[in-house]
Amino acid sequence: MKRWGKVVIAAAVLCIGAYFAMKLQALKEARSMLEAARQRGEPVTCEEFEAWLPDLPEAENGAEVYRRALDALHIREEEEDLLERVRSARFAVGDPSGASLPPEAAAQIESALAENAEALALFHEAAGYEQCRYVTDYSEGPYSDVDFPWKAMRHASRLLMQRVVWAAERDDLDTAIAALLDQAALARSLEWDPATSTWGARLVALRFSLWGTAYLVQRHVLAEEQLRDLNTAIGALECKDHLSRVLLFERISVVHALSDSGNAFTRRWPLRRVWKKRSRGKSISYPLALCGYLEAAEKCLAASRKALPEGLRDVEALREGRGILRRSLLEGHFAYSLDDTVVGSLFLRFCLEAHTVAEVRCVYTAIAIERYRNEHGALPEALDALVPAFLDEVPIDPFDGAPLRYERLPVGYKVYTISYNGIDDGGEPPGDLEDRGEKGDHGVVIPR
């Protein structure tokens, strides 16, 4: 019995030794991957990220004016869903409705604009700056910007869209277009800030810019100068580097979370619980979890630097398990795999980026079609007719790499892309949120 006891003890010691050896090897691999990223010029710590961001001269940075504009906002919670109700009823892309604003909505918009006249003037002033970076000291951690008024940013986007609606209802197209240009500038002002909260605020500002532009083109004949201004603003919304910056920051945040259990980010991002759940209730060590995540993050970063749809396909392959690092010890008791819980969130970012790029390109192309119609008095037979006078080249569908779809209708036309499902649904939009990804396309319909 004593002999067998010694054998059991020896086996236990060997298993424990093997486990810690695996941890050390994983930690070595994680450090090697982070050092390789550093050698590529990528920041891997909060301090390095802070130094990596551009330091804009104060005279060229519109951030301070935007902060003053946000501070001057008067936010009323009862107006939170006003614009969404108005948009869903009349301003969804492709909606040809020409009815006037309901009296109640018109009164609320007029009151909000009067109350926020100072803020609107400041947003217009801030739009005149070529560059913007909100100064945040990330050296203290990935969420040093928790006090930044991101909620006010969303309210600002709604307020500017209300101004577009209000001016267009009165056929004051110059004011409506000026508000749209301010809206687009607000979206661009967030391109250098990579925080998750910024991602949402930027998408709100960007989508309102697109919806407002589509609405004006649907209902009004715009002059060439007005169309050129919109052409420049909408074209600048397709930022090729923003997704890479967001993924870099997310990698830094995950490393920070896994290595500092007391950080606030750990409480916000349930990464530890994710890996604990996926490993049959067993706690996964920091080196094992980090090593797997870093491999996936590196692949996603490489994909983000490729043109769509190639980058989207690479991340979809990663989500489906092809090329994902998997480790196991003691028949899965300490196993982990990067499945939809983690890689799926990275894939979602790519899908949202492709969705945004699709809408930007469709609206941008619709503006070019309107410029062609103003000059020739008729719609083009195909999008090739817009090159090179109005487009450098026909934009590409970010979901399949084909040229954008264009179809002339009995009255008007539509420009669209396919969606996540890879099926051409004839330009029909998704019915609701549950349908997104299952059916429907992205695009714009101009019914005139």
Three-state secondary structure along 227-251? HHHHHHHHHCCCCCCHHHHHHHHHH
Calpha distance 364→375 (Å, rounded): 17
Our CA angle for 151, 153, 159, nearest 5°, is 110
Per the DSSP assignment, residues forming a β-bridge with 396 are: 403
Buried/exposed 129-155: b ≥16 CB within 10 Å, e otherwise: beebbbebebeebbbbbeebbbebbbb
Dist CA 84 CA 157 (whole Å): 12
- Judge whether 415 and 405 are in contact, CB under 8 Å: yes
Closest C-alpha among 162, 166, 215, 161 to residue 183: 161
Burial 38-50 (b: 16+ CB within 10 A, else e): eeeebbbbbeebb
Structure tokens at 215: 């609405």
The secondary structure of 59-114, three-state, reads HHECHHHHHHHHHCCCCCHHHCCHHHHHHHHHHCCCCCCCCCCCHHHHHHHHHHHH
Count of Cβ atoms closer than 10 Å to residue 114 Cβ: 10
pLDDT band at 128 (very low <50, low <70, confident <90, very high): very high
**The pLDDT of residue 405:** 94
CB 296 within 8 A of CB 274: no
- Domain edges within the chain: 23-51+245-341, 55-237
Range of lowest pLDDT (130-144, 150-164, 432-446): 432-446
Residue 433 burial (C-beta neighbours within 10 Å; 0-12, 13-18, 19+): exposed
Which residue, among 178, 64, 67, 159, has the nearest Cα to 111 in the 3D structure? 159
| Per-residue pLDDT reduced to its tens digit, 190-228 | 888 777 667 778 888 898 899 889 888 988 889 999 999
Q: Which of 98-107, 195-204, 309-318, 368-377 has the highest mean pLDDT?
A: 368-377
**pLDDT recorded at residue 442:** 84
Radius of gyration of the chain (CA): 25
* Contact criterion met (CB below 8 Å) for 175 and 159: no
Out of 84-88, 233-237, 273-277, 344-348, least confident range? 273-277
**Exposure b/e, 85-98, CB count within 10 A at least 16 = b:** ebbeebbebbbeee
C-alpha dist (Å) from residue 220 to 63, 96, 101, 133, 291: 33, 11, 16, 35, 55
Choice between 371 and 273, residue whose per-residue pLDDT is larger: 371
Identify the weakest region by mean pLDDT among 24-28, 138-142, 352-356, 386-390.
Answer: 138-142
Task: Please tell me the pTM assigned to this model.
Answer: 0.83
Nearest to 119 by CA among 169, 171, 158: 158
- Mean pLDDT, all residues of the chain: 77
Evaluate if residue 382 carries a pLDDT over 80: yes
The Cα 136–Cα 195 span in angstroms is 11
pLDDT(80) > 60: no
* 87 Cα distance to chain centroid: 20
Q: In the numeric block, which tokens belong to residue 74? A: 């008067």
pLDDT in tens, 10-40: 777 777 776 667 667 777 777 888 888 899 8
Answer positive or negative: Cα dihedral of 409, 367, 237, 390: positive
Mean pLDDT of 76-86: 53
Tokens of 276: 């604990």
Question: How buried is residue 280: exposed, middle or buried, by Cβ count under 10 Å (0-12/13-18/19+)?
Answer: exposed
Torsion of the alpha carbons at 407, 224, 363 and 177, rounded to the nearest 10: -140
Contact 24, 287 (CB under 8 A): yes
Confidence of residue 267 (pLDDT cuts 50, 70, 90): very low
- Model pLDDT, residue 139: 64
CA 371 to CA 389: how far, in whole Å? 10
